[in-house]
Structure 1
Amino acid sequence: MAKSTGIAELDALFTARKGRVDFVDVPELAFFSIDGGGAPAGPEFQAALKALYAVSYGAHFLVKKQTGAAPRVMPLEALWWAEGATADQLAHPESFTESDRGTWRWRAMIAQLPPIDETVIQRAMEQARAKGGAIGALRFERWAEGPSAQIMHVGPYATESTSIAALHAGIAARGSRPRGRHHEIYLGDPRSAAPERLRTILRQPVEPSA
């Protein structure tokens, strides 16, 4: 059985500082997730967001109805990569140009906290499925990201390159190197926040340099 994550430990994973690289060890967490491809403004990604929010809020209110209280709905997250990209591009996604967006791959996801369990998950998915959308592509899974570095980016997504460069400089200074996929955590709802007020945690899994 996976070790439970305390509130303080969990909050540290979803807290970052602008201009400063922090290192965290991300334990196994439960997620609703959907895989897809294309630009973030495209219809497939937008349909995935709608499905993820529907089941996440559905699970929240089911637990609240049963117990009178429920864990908060966690922020949207996404992993980003490109099929056939070089190792350097995967480590530095800011190198992708606008023309590359159609080739992007992504995994959109929202973490689910106890006491949300399999029974609640199934009921929430049944309720959301009745509304249509991308529910059929959604799955529930557990994932441990492990040692990672992260930094806060404030402002439009198009200006992330400076923050990403600072993140990778901090990784190198620690004697580590990137592994896995570029990870973004969107604090607040990216569908409605003003671009200049967007707050995004940029996270990169790491491993010791050879």
Structure 2
Amino acid sequence: MSDKTDVKKTDVYRARRGEFRVLVVPPTRYLMVDGHGDPNTDPSYAAALAALYPVAYTLKFASKEAGRDYVVPPLEGLWWAPDMASFTDARDKTVWDWTMMLAVPEWLGERDVTVAVDAVRAKKDPPVRLDDVRMETLDEGLCVQTLHVGPFDEEGPVIAEMHRAFIPQQGLAMTGCHHEIYLSDPRRTAPEKLRTVLRQPVRRVTDGG
């Protein structure tokens, strides 16, 4: 049995509070479920997580039995809205669209995911959103990221500084979706100690704009 792999220890998860870092994120495969609305009140959000985690842990245990163990990666989310100011100013969560995600190790493939989904479906009372789980590759490429420590609702000023100051000052422009990586479990961590990586895909601005 090899040592247990933990993706949180890889470079792409490295971030410091108060520091904006430019990096290239390689293509990564994820289990994904989409949704819309306030994650605190919309039941589809809880249902999405209730579908993602059983599949992720079934994959993990199958991989462990095959001789390659790993830590289930942290929950991640892509977030977007018609007006990105809803993330920085008003924080109007009712207009947010989202995709919640759990990374899949590179040695597992489509068939492994299909087998895991079927195994979860065969159990008593399978998750209501199980059929919404898919595996997809996310290729963000060039990104800016930082670490936010504290409640989720206090992210706004950090995101605003990233979007409105650091990114344009570096000759970059935003692409893709706002990306969050939840290093802490909010069920077991005080709000002021929550650690969240905030990531934004970007492109370099050419002389032509």
Q: TM-score normalised to the size of structure 2?
A: 0.86
- Per the alignment, residue 79 of structure 2 pairs with 80
In 2 relative to 1, CA 92–208 (structure 1 residues): closer, same or farther, beyond 3 Å? farther
Q: Determine if contact 1:93/1:182 at 8 Å carries over to the other structure.
A: no
- Per the alignment, residue 133 of structure 2 pairs with 138
Using the TM superposition, name which of 108-117 and 143-152 deviates more: 108-117
Q: Shift of the alpha carbon at 1:162?
A: 2.1
Is 1:126 the counterpart of 2:118 in the alignment?
yes
Using the TM superposition, name which of 189-198 and 143-152 deviates more: 189-198
CA distance in 1, matches of 2:175, 2:154: 23
Is 1:52 the counterpart of 2:52 in the alignment?
yes
Q: Shift of the alpha carbon at 1:191?
A: 4.0
5+ unaligned residues in a row in structure 2: which ranges?
1-5
Q: Determine if contact 1:91/1:181 at 8 Å carries over to the other structure.
A: no
Taking every aligned residue pair, what percent have the same amino acid on both sides?
38
CA distance in 2, matches of 1:135, 1:34: 9
What is the letter of the counterpart of residue 60 of structure 1?
K
CA distance in 2, matches of 1:154, 1:34: 26
* Structure with a larger share of its residues in helix: 1
Q: Determine if contact 1:92/1:164 at 8 Å carries over to the other structure.
A: no
1:181-202 deviation digits (Å, cap 9, x = unpaired): 1111111323443211211111
- Per the alignment, residue 93 of structure 1 pairs with 87
Aligned pairs for 1:108-123 (under 5 A) are: 108-123=100-115
Q: Provide the secondary structure at the position in 2 that maps to 1:74.
A: coil
- Per the alignment, residue 13 of structure 2 pairs with 14
Using the TM superposition, name which of 117-126 and 29-38 deviates more: 117-126
Q: Shift of the alpha carbon at 1:40?
A: 1.3
Q: Provide the secondary structure at the position in 1 that maps to 2:48.
A: helix
- Per the alignment, residue 4 of structure 1 pairs with none
CA distance in 2, matches of 1:171, 1:108: 25
CA distance in 2, matches of 1:132, 1:9: 27
Q: Shift of the alpha carbon at 1:155?
A: 0.5
Is 1:166 the counterpart of 2:158 in the alignment?
no
CA distance in 2, matches of 1:182, 1:200: 12
Aligned length: 196
What is the letter of the counterpart of residue 134 of structure 1?
R
Q: Shift of the alpha carbon at 1:127?
A: 2.1
CA distance in 1, matches of 2:187, 2:31: 19
Q: Which one of 127, 138, 149 corresponds to residue 154 of structure 1? A: 149
Aligned pairs for 1:96-107 (under 5 A) are: 96-97=90-91, 100-107=92-99
Q: Determine if contact 2:47/2:127 at 8 Å carries over to the other structure.
A: no
Q: Which one of 184, 198, 206 corresponds to residue 180 of structure 2? A: 184
In 2 relative to 1, CA 76–9 (structure 1 residues): closer, same or farther, beyond 3 Å? closer
Using the TM superposition, name which of 170-179 and 124-133 deviates more: 124-133
- What's the RMSD between the two structures over aligned residues? 2.1
1:10-55 deviation digits (Å, cap 9, x = unpaired): 7111110000000111111111001111111121111111211111
In 2 relative to 1, CA 15–92 (structure 1 residues): closer, same or farther, beyond 3 Å? farther
